[in-house]
Amino acid sequence: MTQKSTPSEVRLKRPLRWQVGTLAAVRQETPRVKTLTLSLPEWIPHRPGQHYDVRLTAPDGYQAQRSYSIASEPERSGEIDLTVELLEDGEVSSYLHQVLREGDQVEVRGPIGGYFVREAAIGGPLFLVAGGSGVVPLMAMIRHRAAAGSRVPTRLLFSSRSAEEIIYAGELEALQAAQDGLEVIHTLTRSQPTGWRGYARRIDRPMLAEAIAPLGDAPWTYVCGPTLLVESVANLLVGLGLPTDRIRTERFGPTGSPE
């Protein structure tokens, strides 16, 4: 016997269509990272943590496609922010950084993903762990949390190479200063400014134990960054006794640059 689908089920099953976005604004976040604001003719509200695919097509028909997390909160309609790190010899990231100009068009498809997502209404507490540009989907969660007026206890442990390379540094500081339950803990792995009082090493077991302690036994935990960082952090969290069903991970790269 066949069952009829409701209209909403039909909509969910329909494959996502490519659409042409327009680059509305560019913001330099750090020396190697830019945020691109794309206005979309078919904007769909996303879930914080989801991503878009970007597809480039050369005049000879050659295509390259990569995924980029949505940095903006779903409360901002009509456009999305993608925050892209420039990789040496990176095919797509170098095009997005060095060729694409305001007013140019770019093909995108999304929002995609139903696992590495978090709405403020679900509650917490939340433990977020990021390496470099892995902070992007976590920033969407943090921005959404603020936009929704959530006060769920949330801690972000954020590993960057140096102070200059901290993505969203100013905004994170301002959000933390609002004292609504968000705390940001930085570690700088390669160089630290004079008088630096944060961590100064790669994320390890004692650092995770200290950072997670105020959140109780089993906070919802999201880890994102280079593959090596994500795997190491996930293993350490399991070793610390965090239930595996509380840990969600997203890997950005094949090997990733060491943080």
Ligand X SMILES: Cc1cc2nc3c(=O)[nH]c(=O)nc-3n(C[C@H](O)[C@H](O)[C@H](O)COP(=O)(O)OP(=O)(O)OC[C@H]3O[C@@H](n4cnc5c(N)ncnc54)[C@H](O)[C@@H]3O)c2cc1C
Q: Which is nearer to ligand X, 27 or 196 (CB)?
A: 27
- Measure the CA–CA gap between 125 and 147, rounded to whole angstroms: 17
Q: Which of residues 91-110 bind ligand X (CB under 6 A)?
A: 91-93
| Interface pattern 32-61 for ligand X (x via CB under 6 A) | -------------------x----------
- Measure the CA–CA gap between 45 and 42, rounded to whole angstroms: 10
* Residue 131 sits in the site that holds ligand X (CB under 6 A): no
Q: Which is nearer to ligand X, 117 or 237 (CB)?
A: 117
Among positions 66, 109, 205, 246, the unique one binding ligand X when judged by CB under 6 A: 66
* Residue 256 sits in the site that holds ligand X (CB under 6 A): yes
**Please, what's the b/e burial string for 178-201 (b: 16 or more CB within 10 A of its CB; e: otherwise)?**
eeebbebbbbbbeebeeeeeebee
Q: Which is nearer to ligand X, 3 or 255 (CB)?
A: 255
Do residues 213 and 240 make contact, with C-beta atoms less than 8 angstroms apart? no
Least spacing, CB of residue 91 vs ligand X, in Å:
4
Least spacing, CB of residue 42 vs ligand X, in Å:
21
State the DSSP string of 29-70: EETTEEEEEEE-TT--PPPTT-EEEEEEE-TTS-EEEEEEEB
Run of H or E including 108: strand 105-112
| Four-point Cα dihedral 224, 130, 248, 14, nearest 10 | -50
Least spacing, CB of residue 66 vs ligand X, in Å:
4
Q: Which is nearer to ligand X, 152 or 252 (CB)?
A: 252
- Measure the CA–CA gap between 211 and 62, rounded to whole angstroms: 46
- Measure the CA–CA gap between 37 and 81, rounded to whole angstroms: 4
Least spacing, CB of residue 134 vs ligand X, in Å:
8
What does the block give as tokens for 177? 């200063």
Least spacing, CB of residue 213 vs ligand X, in Å:
29
Tracing tokens 């930085």 back to the chain, one arrives at 186
Run of H or E including 174: helix 169-177
Least spacing, CB of residue 137 vs ligand X, in Å:
7
Among positions 87, 147, 163, 218, the unique one binding ligand X when judged by CB under 6 A: 87
* Residue 84 sits in the site that holds ligand X (CB under 6 A): yes
Least spacing, CB of residue 218 vs ligand X, in Å:
25
* Residue 72 sits in the site that holds ligand X (CB under 6 A): no
Tracing tokens 């976040």 back to the chain, one arrives at 29
Q: Which stretch binds ligand X (CB under 6 A): 11-19, 79-87, 155-163, 233-241?
A: 79-87
Q: Which residues in this chain contact ligand X in the complex, by CB under 6 A?
A: 51, 66-69, 83-85, 87, 89-93, 133, 136, 226, 250, 252-254, 256-257
